[in-house]
Amino acid sequence: MKLELSAEQQMIQAMAREFADSAIKPIAAEIDRDARFPHETVKRMGELGLMGIAVPERWGGSGADAVSYVVALEEIARACASHAVVMSVNNSLYGDPLLRYGTDVQRERFLKPVASGHTHGCFALTEPQAGSDATNQATLAVRDGADYIVNGRKRFITTGRESSFALVFCQTDRAEGHRGISAFVVEKGAPGFTVGKTEDKLGIRASDTAELIFEDCRVPAANRLGDEGQGFKIAMTAIDGGRIGIAAQAVGIAAGAYERSVAYARERKAFGVLIGQHQMVQWMLADMATAIDGARLLTLRAATLKDGGRPYRTAAAMAKLFASETAMKVATDAIQVHGGYGFIREYEVERAFRDAKVTQLYEGTSQIQKLVIARDLLGDHDGRA
């Protein structure tokens, strides 16, 4: 077993780190406070090729692999979790299914501009009543000649306001339950498609989380991704990959908080010595470093399986579960290491604490990850997640 990144992967990691340190880190606290979408830096991420990392060049992407995606995403998240989630959704939840299930015509129209970073795509599965229970879709798409008429609401859609394209999951045959779900690409500006309110969130505040509203929205049948009834499988496959991205984001959030804690332990004195010399602080730092490495290795394993064309659903769920739990624990302990200062915005570990929470919630809560893992262990998957 070889635990070493290739020369290209190392260069991608170094580039992402330098960019994150010089361009993202200086604005991260401010855009979090103002809940402002960072158009300028996200655009630059597109120019650098970070918005379609594993998409082939032919379709506007960078032609790299999932491991490169993971190492780059960790570096971005280390500086700012909001940038990281925008990158993750664009790559995993929008780009990957378009590449996997799209026709060449669809890839040309709907993937190329997104993978090249010129615009964004979002993934609209969640509804007010359908979060973890994603099979319970209420949005309807009814065939009408060469079109479908879509009605319904999607909630908590990352990059929903800023995206030019939405991958929307709808019931096309209610009697079939989750086997009656189909996927459609809906373009911004389509009549009947509006963006509702943008949520005011605890964390990842610089990314926009919006409601999408469809009222008699006419969508050409040519915009349907895959076959009728294939939508749920498309969604679950996308989320399996997305979980690798969220795992990397969680590792990055944890690594950022950990690094701040180490630096603080080296400069802050208490009882006449640096706090890093107190065994109880050492204990926390050692636990943090160990958990982060474990989470990182699980994440890289899932990405390596994906790159190798091997099954990765369980590995991705394990990586996402462990990394997000690690991020929350590490961010909590990072505040503890900082003491009262950790509770103050200026020290920035409180941002990691707020950002970490969502990694336990989106793209499947920690409880859903355990369900996925257990179902795989017990051979009881039935095509569901």
Partner 1 sequence: MKILVTIKQVPDTATQVKIAADGKTIDPTGITWIVSPYDEFAVEEALRIKEKRGQGEVVAVSLGPDRVKEALRSCLAMGCDRAIHLNDPAWAAADTLVTARALAKVIEQESAQLVLCGRQAIDDDMGAVTAQLAELLGWPCAYWIMEETIDADAKSVRAARQVEGGLEVFDLPLPAVLAAQKGLNEPRYPTLKGIMGAKKKEIKDLKASDLGGAVEPPQLSVVGLQALPPRPPGRIIQGDVPTAVKELVRSLREDAKAI
- Min CB(118)–partner 1 separation in Å: 14
Residues in CB range of 226: below 8 A, 6 or more apart: 101, 182, 183, 233, 234
In sequence order, the β-bridge partners of residue 198 are 210
Measured CA to CA, the distance from residue 239 to residue 376 in angstroms comes to 16
- Min CB(116)–partner 1 separation in Å: 10
- Min CB(61)–partner 1 separation in Å: 8
Under a CB-based contact definition with an 8 Å cutoff, are residues 148 and 222 in contact? no
Closer residue to partner 1 in complex, CB, 53/368: 53
* Catalytic position from the list 162, 325, 348, 363: 363
Closer residue to partner 1 in complex, CB, 54/331: 54
Closer residue to partner 1 in complex, CB, 13/360: 13
Handedness of CA 42, 45, 47, 52 (dihedral sign): negative
Q: What angle do CA 325, 307, 85 make, to 5 degrees?
A: 40
Q: What angle do CA 238, 290, 367 make, to 5 degrees?
A: 40
Binding site for partner 1 (CB under 8 A): 7-8, 11-12, 15, 18-19, 47-50, 53, 57, 62-64, 68, 72
Question: Is 363 in the active site?
Answer: yes
Closer residue to partner 1 in complex, CB, 64/210: 64
Q: Which residue has the tokens 């009549």?
A: 191
- Min CB(8)–partner 1 separation in Å: 5
Residues in CB range of 104: below 8 A, 6 or more apart: none
- Min CB(119)–partner 1 separation in Å: 18
Residues in CB range of 349: below 8 A, 6 or more apart: 257, 260, 261, 331, 334, 335, 338, 342
Closer residue to partner 1 in complex, CB, 72/385: 72
Catalytic amino acids? 363
